[in-house]
Every structure is written in C-alpha cells, then in structure tokens.
C-alpha cells in the first residue's frame, strides 16, 4: 500500500476479506493508507470457529466478557483484523501477531516485515474499522450517533472553549452530529500521537484540518464517511 497505486493495490488485496473499503477522506494525504470497515453481523463464523483462529491472550480476554454479544463482537473484530493484515502483508492469518500498549493501542509485531506499519482500529456497536499506513502514524475512530449520549455536561468534558461555544450556538438539529464528529476527530488525532486520552481532550481544537498537539507536532484530521448513523474520522501525522 505504500507504493504508486498503493490504494488500488490495497483494495485488490482485501477483495477476499469480509468488509468494505472506505474512501480516503483526503486522497492526497491518505494515499498510502488502507482504510476498511466491516459490519460484524456479516461475519457468520460460529464462536467456536472464531476461538480457534485467535491467540491465547485473545481467548482469555474473550472469556472475561459477561455478555455473549460483547464476547462475540470481540472475537469477530480480532478475527477480522487478522484477516485484513494477512491480506495486506500477503501471509497466512496465523502468521499475524499484534501487541497492545498500556493504553490498549495496537502494534504489529509479526511478520517482521509489518513491524514498521502503523495500525489503528476502532469499533462502535456492530461496526469495526481499521487503518494501516506503511509510512506515518495513522489514527481513526467511529462512533454511533446515539442522541442519548449527548448533553451539555458531556460536551463540556471533551470540547475546548472555542468548540463548546460554537457547539452551543448551533441549531439543536445540528448538535448531535457535531458532538460525535468532534469526538471522533479527537480520538483519531490522539491515536496518531500515541497518547489516547492521556492528553486532556479539551487541550486540542479539532475544527481545523491541521491540529496542533503540544509536544507532538501537527496532525492532519478529516471526517470519514463510513455508514449512515455513524460518525468517523481519520488522522495522519504531517
């Protein structure tokens, strides 16, 4: 995916993998990024089969979920992630290894050829998305736009003063979508710099396309069209 025609090559590699390609939000900036998503309800493998195709740590984590739907979706996401990486790396799924840092962000460890790749994942309800870049840190996020989660207090908790003032001035019908778009943009940006919400989200303003993150430089962020009902954002280091 990091060569001329990389996006097309990524698309061809993923043709046999469940899911759908996501159009780059700004093609020139995301030209070497593979963006893909899947509705987990479309993965029809039985839980018993999924358990056979994940590793020991993933099986242990799956066993800790209290609700069956959460256990199933976790297994589906991990199985699908392995399929996507294997397709891009042109290896068997069993050869793909992934570790996670203390914040839960994924890092590719096997096969050795993919260790320099940047990987970002996100999920919300039955939608999962994934981004891979061979050249620069990448981040993405999706959020189901459930209006029950939108409130003044919730907005104040993650929006900077400028964002919050602009949000309050919006017509009521625009606030829900904006709430989730800005949330997704913040998540995507902070995944790029590798901190997650260890950096106070109110410290950054994600309204512009180029976001300054103190101590971490600039990040390009764009809204990402995924499926109706979900907000999405993709970000990449500049």
| Rounded distance between C-alpha atoms, residue 139 and residue 189, angstroms | 6
| Whether residue 131 is found in the same domain as residue 146 | no
What pLDDT is stored for residue 8 in this prediction? Answer: 53
The answer to whether position 23 is within a domain reads: yes
Q: Where among 135, 152, 182 does a domain terminate?
A: 135
The answer to whether position 1 is within a domain reads: no
pLDDT in tens, 56-79: 999 999 999 999 999 999 999 999
CATH number, residue 39? 3.90.470.20
pLDDT in tens, 113-136: 999 999 999 999 999 999 999 999
Percent of the chain with pLDDT strictly greater than 70: 94
What pLDDT is stored for residue 13 in this prediction? Answer: 58
What pLDDT is stored for residue 26 in this prediction? Answer: 87
Strand intervals (E) in 70-229: 97-100, 106-110, 118-124, 127-133, 138-144, 210-213, 217-223
| Whether residue 109 is found in the same domain as residue 149 | no
| Whether residue 179 is found in the same domain as residue 224 | yes
Of residues 198 and 163, more confidence is placed in 163
pLDDT in tens, 41-60: 999 999 999 999 999 999 99
φ/ψ of residue 69, rounded to 5: -65, -40
Cβ-based neighbour number of residue 194 at 10 Å: 16
| Whether residue 28 is found in the same domain as residue 103 | yes
11 pLDDT exceeds 80?
no
Query: Domain residues for 206?
Result: 142-237
What pLDDT is stored for residue 15 in this prediction? Answer: 62
What pLDDT is stored for residue 104 in this prediction? Answer: 87
The answer to whether position 182 is within a domain reads: yes
| Rounded distance between C-alpha atoms, residue 180 and residue 41, angstroms | 23
7 pLDDT exceeds 60?
no
Q: Could you tell me if 38 and 20 are in contact, meaning their C-beta atoms sit under 8 angstroms apart?
A: yes
pLDDT in tens, 162-172: 999 999 999 99
Q: Mean pLDDT over all residues of the chain? A: 93
Cβ-based neighbour number of residue 217 at 10 Å: 12
Q: Where among 67, 102, 135 does a domain terminate?
A: 135
What is the number of domains present in the chain? 2
Q: In 19-100, which residue ranges form alpha helices assigned H by DSSP?
A: 47-52, 56-63, 68-89
| Whether residue 21 is found in the same domain as residue 129 | yes
105 pLDDT exceeds 70?
yes
What pLDDT is stored for residue 6 in this prediction? Answer: 46
| Rounded distance between C-alpha atoms, residue 98 and residue 95, angstroms | 10
The answer to whether position 121 is within a domain reads: yes
2 pLDDT exceeds 70?
no
176 pLDDT exceeds 60?
yes
The answer to whether position 184 is within a domain reads: yes
């Amino acid at each position: 995916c990091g060569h001329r025609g990389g996006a097309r090559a990524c698309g061809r590699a993923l043709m046999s993998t469940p899911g759908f390609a996501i159009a780059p939000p700004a093609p020139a900036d995301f030209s070497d990024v593979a963006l893909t998503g899947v509705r987990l309800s479309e993965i029809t493998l039985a839980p018993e089969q999924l358990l056979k195709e994940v590793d020991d740590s993933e099986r242990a984590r799956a066993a800790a979920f209290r609700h069956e739907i959460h256990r199933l979706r976790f297994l589906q996401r991990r199985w699908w992630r392995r399929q996507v990486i294997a397709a891009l790396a042109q290896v068997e799924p069993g050869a793909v290894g992934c570790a996670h840092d203390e914040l839960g962000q994924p890092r590719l460890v096997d096969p050795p050829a993919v260790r320099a790749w940047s990987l970002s994942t996100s999920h919300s309800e039955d939608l999962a998305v994934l981004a891979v870049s061979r050249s620069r840190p990448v981040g993405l996020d999706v959020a189901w736009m459930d209006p029950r989660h939108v409130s003044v207090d919730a907005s104040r908790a993650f929006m900077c003063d400028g964002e919050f003032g602009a949000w309050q001035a919006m017509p009521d019908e625009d606030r829900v979508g904006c709430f989730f778009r800005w949330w997704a943009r913040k998540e995507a940006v902070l995944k790029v710099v590798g901190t997650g919400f260890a950096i106070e989200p109110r410290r950054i303003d994600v309204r512009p396309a180029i976001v300054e993150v103190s101590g971490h430089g600039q990040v390009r962020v764009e809204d990402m069209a995924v499926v109706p009902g979900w907000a999405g954002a993709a970000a990449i280091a500049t």
